[in-house]
Amino acid sequence: MLDREAAWALVCEFVQDEGLRRHMLAVSVAMGWYANQLGADVAYWETVGLLHDFDWEIHPDLDRHPTEGSKILRARGWDEETIRVILSHYTEGTGVHREKPIDFALLACDEITGLVIAVTLVRPSKNIAEVTLSSIRKKWKDRRFAAGVDRDHVTEVTADFSQESFAGGLELWDHIQNVLTAMQEAAEVLELDGRLASTTP
Confidence at residue 152, expressed as pLDDT on a 0 to 100 scale:
97
Helix crossing, 172-185 with 151-166: angle to 10°? 90
Cis peptide before 66 (omega within 30 of 0): yes
Confidence at residue 199, expressed as pLDDT on a 0 to 100 scale:
63
Confidence at residue 62, expressed as pLDDT on a 0 to 100 scale:
78
Question: What is the residue type of 18?
Answer: E
Q: How confident is the chain (201 residues) per 10-residue block, as mean pLDDT? A: 89 95 98 98 97 92 86 95 94 91 97 97 97 98 96 98 98 98 98 85 50
Confidence at residue 169, expressed as pLDDT on a 0 to 100 scale:
98
**Strand ranges, E, within 55-189:** none
Helix crossing, 172-185 with 101-121: angle to 10°? 70
Residue 96 DSSP one-character state: P
Question: What ranges do the domains of the chain cover?
Answer: 4-194
CA 45, CA 105: separation in Å to the nearest integer?
9
Confidence at residue 1, expressed as pLDDT on a 0 to 100 scale:
59
